[in-house]
Amino acid sequence: MTALRSEDEGAAAMSRAWTLIFRVIALAGALPLALTKHLPFADLPEHVAVIATLRHWWTPSWRSQENFVVEGLLRTQYFLYDLVGAALAFPLGTAERANFVIVVATAIGFPYALAALLRSLGRDPRLGLFGVLLFWNRALAEGLLPFVTSIPVTLFTLSLVVKRARAAAPLAKDGLRLALLTLAIFYLHLSSYLLFVLAAGVVVVGLRRPDAPVFWSLSGVRQLARGSSWLAPSLLVALLFAASSSVTHPDLREGAHAETVRFLPKMHLLGQLPLWMHDFWTTTFDDVFALVAWVGIGTAIVAARSSVRGEVERADGRVAASLVLTVGLLYFTLPTQVGFAFILDLRMAPFVGAFFVLLAAPPPGRWRELSVATVAVAALGLAATSAVEMVRLERDEGRHIDTVLRNLPEGKRLLSLIFDPRSRYTKIAPHLHIGSYYRARYGGLASFSFSELPHWPVRYRKGAAPPAKPIVFWDFDPCQYRNTSDGPYYDFVLVRGRERPFFEGLPGPRFRLIGGARDLRLYERLRDAPFVPGTDLTGPCVHADGASEPALPSVYP
């Protein structure tokens, strides 16, 4: 009973009224997602395209099997996100709706998962509302959706590890649930899995029963093995993955990034930590509300230091502090790049924030209530800010995507030349992969695509890939386009920015402007037009203001 006292005290803080308030604010944090059709997360269209390809694998007009192959479970980690999305796309009708459901569930899961971890360690679960602020992070803006989804799954699973460590006689069904959730974390993202394994070790060691045998004794080893047997399936998969994946066996034929391992300076990481935790919008309101929330958390931490605590509470405090040290160590020591995987260090910032909240354990009283109220107000403020910014973004930028991509034929090839991927509203440029909405809605393929990368779950079939370029991520440098070598491969070209890549006399196939809106233009290759002789040596960027174009047609052909 003593071992359970800590969790019971955390649960007692959640009154019926606060349960309702928590639910309302958690939903408010996800509400902005429903205010736009085109979520401003940079890599999101690529994930939606994979989901759509899997959903329409047997749709002939989409040409999915002609263009792509599906990687094995031991070659890629992103299967879970995409398979769940594909399964949801059947009843929901489209990959975009399926992805929307997953993202909304993730947004709601942030505060609830953090509350579960807080409760398990005897903290006030109402501080889980801080999860609303953590959801709107830079990793989300980058569109690192499997990783972002892994965060609440990891926090919730860790809360179950805490409960199991406290239990006098753990149940077999709890071990099975932990095994399945741990596999889910692995197949969402390797970074989260690494953190989870280390954090679970901290919990098991920090909450071991006083009468337990020492770890280095034979009985201690046996007890530890029995208690951690639920981790074995994921460790086995991790070993098999390490033996065959492109992450551990890079192939230089895939590109210059294959064998690259790069680290960021520690002071740079320190300066970027608050930005990657919270700084999503260009407005300063999200920064202000994040600061308000941290004032509330800081107040709770200071109040906790002055309270008198028993042995259980001290053990919980040691575990919380150890978890903060663990995630901090990973944040500052992980490489920022391993092969084709990037931002491996900075993306851990939301975990740093979540674990830091575990230090807040004020005794009941006005300081605790003030801390909770401050975090709740900040969460509501950020939700309102995100709602306003999302409406503005859809009105000024997002809705034009539908205008340009409507009523197109299925199974074609589209190239995006995004000369200006920026947004007036988000810190991370969200428009780099908007061409992948074509593949998500009509099949075929859209380039540039992560399907060119070795760790992606759906890759180009041999012979179907677009023309190779001298650099891998040439989506950041559309000036690499050459009409004579690239143009014959594509049926459509989507352009965003001032550049006019097609002009009279350009060598190669001819393209005509068939539609556009705002700063988007769509070109179609003229199949019957003669190939203009010559060699395109300069690319489109020397023609930034280009020759004049005809007026946009009022309707699509």
Query: Which range (158-172, 399-413, 436-450, 529-543) has the least confidence?
Result: 529-543
The confidence score (pLDDT) of residue 552 equals: 42
Query: What's the whole-number mean pLDDT along residues 17-43?
Result: 97
Residue 400 contacts residue 367 (beta carbons within 8 Å):
no
Query: Which range (53-67, 159-173, 441-455, 506-520) has the least confidence?
Result: 159-173
The confidence score (pLDDT) of residue 340 equals: 77
Last residue of a domain, one of 354, 388, 422: 388
Q: What is the pLDDT of residues 70-121, one digit of tens each?
A: 988 887 878 899 999 999 999 999 999 999 999 999 999 999 999 999 999 9
Max distance between CA atoms of the chain, in angstroms, equals 85
Assess whether 370 and 452 both reside in one domain.
no
Assess whether 286 and 427 both reside in one domain.
no
Query: Which range (224-228, 329-333, 363-367) has the least confidence?
Result: 224-228
Assess whether 371 and 416 both reside in one domain.
no
Query: What's the whole-number mean pLDDT along residues 66-73?
Result: 92
**Domain coverage including residue 500:** 406-543
Query: Which range (65-69, 131-135, 271-275, 545-549) has the least confidence?
Result: 545-549
Q: How many domains does the chain have?
A: 2
The confidence score (pLDDT) of residue 548 equals: 42
Q: What is the pLDDT of residues 13-24, one digit of tens each?
A: 668 899 999 999
Assess whether 249 and 189 both reside in one domain.
yes
Q: Is residue 414 part of a domain?
A: yes
Residue 155 contacts residue 190 (beta carbons within 8 Å):
no
The confidence score (pLDDT) of residue 453 equals: 87
Assess whether 342 and 413 both reside in one domain.
no
Report CA-CA distances (Å) from 121 to 10, 251, 278, 358, 552.
8, 45, 25, 8, 62
* Close Cβ partners of 210 (under 8 Å, ≥ 6 residues apart): none
Last residue of a domain, one of 334, 353, 388: 388
Size of the chain, expressed as the number of residues it contains: 557
Assess whether 367 and 415 both reside in one domain.
no
The confidence score (pLDDT) of residue 1 equals: 41
Q: Is residue 346 part of a domain?
A: yes
Q: What is the pLDDT of residues 149-188, one digit of tens each?
A: 999 999 999 999 999 998 877 777 889 999 999 999 999 9
Report CA-CA distances (Å) from 302 to 116, 359, 362.
22, 9, 8
Q: How confident is the model at residue 543 (pLDDT cuts 50, 70, 90)?
A: low
Query: Which range (208-212, 350-354, 372-376, 427-431) has the least confidence?
Result: 208-212
Please tell me which of 214-223, 255-264, 293-302 the model is most confident about, judged by mean pLDDT. Answer: 293-302
The confidence score (pLDDT) of residue 73 equals: 82
Q: What is the pLDDT of residues 431-457, one digit of tens each?
A: 999 999 999 999 999 999 999 988 899
The confidence score (pLDDT) of residue 210 equals: 67
For residue 295, the tally of other CB atoms under 10 A from its CB is 15
Angstrom distance (rounded) from CA 379 to CA 385: 10
Query: What's the whole-number mean pLDDT along residues 58-74?
Result: 94
Q: Is residue 513 part of a domain?
A: yes
The confidence score (pLDDT) of residue 199 equals: 98
- Over 80: is that where the pLDDT of 222 sits? no
The confidence score (pLDDT) of residue 556 equals: 32
Last residue of a domain, one of 333, 358, 388: 388
